[in-house]
Every structure is written in C-alpha cells, then in structure tokens.
Amino acid sequence: MARKKLKEEEKRKLNKENMRKLLGIYRFILPYKWKFVVGLICLLMSSFLIMAFPVLAGKLLDVASGNNWTMGAGQLMGRLKGQDAGISFNSVTQVALLLMGVLLLQSAFSYVRVYLFAIVTERSIAVLRKAVYSRMLSLPIKFLNSKRIGDMVSRMTSDIAIIQETLSITSAELFRQATMLIIGVVIIFYMVPELSLFMLAVFPAIVLLTLLFGRTLKKLSKQSQTKLAEANVVVEETLQSSLIVKAFTNEFFETNRYGRAIENTVNVALKAAKFKGAFISFIIFALFGAIVAVMWKGGTMVDAGEITTGDLVTFIMVTMFIGASIAGLGDMYGQLQRAVGASERVQEILDEEPEKAGDSKLEVKLNGHLEFKNLSFKYPDTGKEVLHNISFEVRPGEKLALVGSSGAGKSTITHLIMRFYDVVNGSILANDEDISSFPLSAFRKNIAVVPQEVLLFGGTIRENIRYGKPEATDEEVYEAAKKAYVMEFIENLDEGFDTLAGDRGIKLSGGQRQRIAIARAILKDPAILILDEATSSLDAESEVYVQQALEELMKGRTTLIIAHRLSTIRGADNIIVLRDGRIVESGTHEELEQQERGLYRHLLNLQFTEIQNPENSKSVVA
C-alpha cells in the first residue's frame, strides 16, 4: 500500500492545485527573498552571456575569413541605412579577447548565483526541517499511531531532499533553460530566418519521438527503483530482526528471499537497459541526422552567398543549445512532478492540527487527586468502545493498581490520564477540575511514566537521567541515581555516568535500563506516577533493586500501577479489576482475595499454578 501511494505521488500531475501546494513550500524562502531575487538576476545575466558565446564564436570565424564585424546597438539601423554603426572588429585577437571577457563575466555571475542560491536553499531548508520536526513532535498520538515510523522519517529525509533539490537546482535550471530557449529562438530567427524555418520542419518530430521514448524509459526506471526498494525492505527487516533470524536458523531462507528480490530487480533493470540502448541509438541517428540535414541546407546557403560561414556555425551551435534546453525542460517537468508529490507529503504534516500544548513556561501544581466520572471511550481509528462507564477515585498519595487480562482497558486509562486522547463521554478530574482545563504541557509535567519496555536515547547515562529535568545540575542527577539504585551498577562501568547507553539502550541490561528510567522519573519529581508493568520482564535479582527503587519513587506520590505480577501490588491502597473495559471488582488485596468466585482470586490462582507448574501454564494477565 505504501509503495502504491508513493508511485502515485511520483506521477502527480502539475495542475493548479498541486502547483499551489508546491509554491506553498516556497514561503520558507521569504526571509531570504532579496538574495533569491539577486540570484535570479545573476542567472538571467549568465544565460544571456552563455547564448552570446555561439554568436561570438561565429563572428570569430567570419573575422578570420577576412570579414569585418560591427557590434553595437546601432548595428541594425546601420544595416537598414547601408552603413556601419557601432564598434568594428577586424582582428581575430579582438574578437577572442571579447569572447574571453564574456566568459569571465559569465563565470562571475554564475559564481554569485550559485553562492546566493546555496544560502537561500540551505537556510530555508533548515527552517523547513525544524518546522516539520517541531510539528511532528506536537502532533497528537492518534495521528502518529496511524503512520509508520519509516514513512514519517522518509518525509523528513527523502521528501525534503527532493524539495531542496527543487529549490537549489530545478528552479534555477528551469529558469535558465526557458531563458536560453527564448533567447536562442530569437537569435536564429533574427540571423537566418529561412534556415530557422527549415530547422522547425525537421526537429519537432524528433523531439516528439524523444519524449515518447523518454516516458517509457522513465516508467521502466521507476519499476527498477520499486524492485530495488523491495529488496532493501528484506535487508531492513532481517537486520532489525537478526536475533529472530538466527534463533530460527533462517539465514539460508532470508538469503534466498533477498536473492529472489535482487533477481527481480536485475530483470527489470536489463529490460530498461535494452530500451535505453535503443533510445540512445535513436537519439544518435535522429539528432545527428537532423544536424546533417541542417548543415546541408546551411551549406547550400553559404555556397549561394546568402549567409556567411560564421552565421552557419552560430546557427548550428545555437540550435544545439535550443535542443539541450528542450530536453532539459522535459527533465525539469519530471523533477517538478516528484517535487509536487514530496511537497504534498511534507505539507500534510505542516497542515495537521497539533496538540494545544499551551504556554510551556506556565506552571501547574497538581496535588495528586484523580477522579474518573462515568467515562466511556473509543479509539478514533477503530470506533470500538474499550471503556464503559468507568468511575473511580484516587486520593493524593494513594497507590491504585489496575488488574485485568490483556485488552481489558488498563493502558487506555493511563493514556487518558496523560491526555494522549481527548475524553468525549464522561470526565477525568484533577484537583477537582476537568483535566482538559489545564494547559497540556504544564499538566503533563506533573506526571511521570515508568514503562515495561524502557527505550533509552543513544547518549550517555547522565543525559538519559537528565531527560527527566533538562535543567538539572549534576548533583541532582547523582542524587536521583542514588535513590534509584543506579549507583549499584554504574560504579562498575569504566566511564561511569558518561557511559553511552547505545541505540535504544542496548548496551545496558533490562534492569539497568529500568533503574535509569526510575531515576529519570525521580528527577522529574511528579505528583502522579504511572508504573506500566515496570518489573514484569526482570530477573529476580534485578527485580529486587528495581522494586526498592520504585518504593523510593512512590513515596508521597499518587501512583497508578498496571500489574502483571499480582504479588507486587499487595501493598496497594486500592485494586481495580477490569474485564472488557468495565470495572468488575475493587478493593484491597486482602478483600479481593477473600472473594472465592471473583476474577482477582481467579487470576491469583492462575499465577500460583504457573509458579508451581511453569511448563504447563500460561499467564493470562497483562
């Protein structure tokens, strides 16, 4: 589906609506518009001077043949009056020096243009990248969950790279080729109108056939790119799941799968190569055949004394410039199509409504009191109701445990507390006020989460702990690490707090990552703490340290615990048992344990059986 969508975007037509979206990206160059304008002027002057080269080359040949050449604004009037006007050149050296001066001036304009366009492009693309990244981070969870991470990364990298190429190269080349085409047509019709009409009778058919060849070749090239992308997907999947591949000894299977994908790529590429060979042969024969025809016609005109040899050389060179410009415009069209697709994908993110975070400098102090009132909830993407008329209360400093089978609604409750989704039916109160009344960023600063699977950043341990409070001092970081029992293992590391955690924290064990996450939460000093199965995947020794760290973290804080191991919630002030999004039981561990037919008692018995006979039992609690 993703590849089909990408192919459709690559073929995006240049209609009014799509061009409007593409031009919308150009607003990022507005702060640098004067540099852009000066760059365009330099580009225009450079194009004029480029087209002067074939004219001067022809005149050089004429002067070498003994004909004087007069250059100036009065040349045309002089021709009409039958007399010379302007500056006369009767020496090859003079024309050559003029030609060198034109080339030097053209080089200067080109340098200034390239440098100014680089400033405009790099600065504006940097602003665009920051804007897209900032908007991505501010988007609601429901949008981020609906997109694949690879797709979002592609928009930040590939799509913006295409836009960057459009700003820096395609736009300039489009302007250059169009200018050179217009100037070239004016020159040849002014100099040799009869030969120009003959050329127009020969070249259009060749250009049309060239475009048809190019379209088919472009289609085959896209197929080749698609097949290569499919092969790269195999590589990406196997490298990301290398442990699974090796665990199931499927190296041979994956090698064959990649081999089949590469073979498909080769087949399409060879098909494209055959067509490309035919295309190149056609271009060589048709293009040079047309040039021969024009030279034949021009030669007859030289013999008849209708034009000079220099005029013929100028005409041929300008015609080649015109042909190159026409071919370049065709390529520019394809690049603009790609740019339209890329700008649409980037613009979709920029147009998406962000979370209303509010003023990040505002401070909101929650006392830890939470209350759910008749809350029902369904996820926007599925439309299925996952919570049904939920009501409960957590007083400041209390520990509330949420228990139930997978899919019962435990994680949904914590997501709603974090305001990842908006509450539509019912309400959640904090400090006896609806949580939607608080500025979002200020509200979330009062909540910390310790998840089951801790994903650390690739920086140092110190940086990962400080993430809970970026402005924290080293002393505060060390104190949080001490309370979270991080010091128990960090002293054994050669680089201590400066040890790199590695990608997603891969260089550290599960227990070490968990304690760093707890230290991060301690440093944040939240009023409300959410523990999402924080000890479910740890070994016995690590669990002891993590449990001690959690006890330190929970002191004086309202805590919601999603429990996998029911033995870890015996000390909870209240336990809520969920089934299919409904509260079926609530009470302390001792109260619920006494209900012989209760769900909590049933889950306890299952876990007890699992401990006694682990090879014959499966846990149903998540």
Q: Is the Cβ–Cβ distance between 573 and 545 less than 8 Å?
A: no
Dist CA 512 CA 489 (whole Å): 8
- Where is average pLDDT lowest: 51-60, 245-254, 364-373, 399-408? 51-60
pLDDT at 155 over 70: yes
Helix (H, G, I), strand (E, B) or coil at 581: coil
What is the pLDDT confidence band of residue 9, given thresholds at 50, 70 and 90? Answer: very low
Q: How many Cβ atoms are within 10 Å of 254's Cβ, its own excluded? A: 17
Q: Is 453 left (phi over 0), alpha (psi -120 to 50) or beta?
A: beta
Q: Is the Cβ–Cβ distance between 355 and 378 less than 8 Å?
A: no
Q: Pick 528 or 215 by higher pLDDT.
A: 528
CATH topology (fold) of 453-525 = Rossmann fold (3.40.50)
Residue 174 token pair: 């489009």
Chain segment 405-418, per-residue pLDDT in tens: 878 888 889 889 88
Chain segment 252-306, per-residue pLDDT in tens: 888 888 888 888 888 888 887 887 787 778 777 777 777 787 778 878 887 777 7
- Where is average pLDDT lowest: 4-13, 14-23, 112-121, 331-340? 4-13
Q: Is the Cβ–Cβ distance between 613 and 620 less than 8 Å?
A: no
pLDDT on residue 537: 56
pLDDT on residue 271: 81
Domain spanning 1-192+332-355: which CATH class is it, in words?
mainly alpha
Helix (H, G, I), strand (E, B) or coil at 82: coil
pLDDT on residue 404: 83
Dist CA 452 CA 535 (whole Å): 7
Percent of the chain with pLDDT over 90: 1
Dist CA 446 CA 101 (whole Å): 70
Q: Pick 417 or 145 by higher pLDDT.
A: 417
Q: What is the mean pLDDT of residues 180-203?
A: 79
The DSSP line for 41-69 is HHHHHHHHHHHHHHHHHHHHHHHHTT--E
Highest mean pLDDT among 11-25, 109-123, 493-507: 109-123
Chain segment 487-512, per-residue pLDDT in tens: 878 877 777 878 787 776 777 777 78
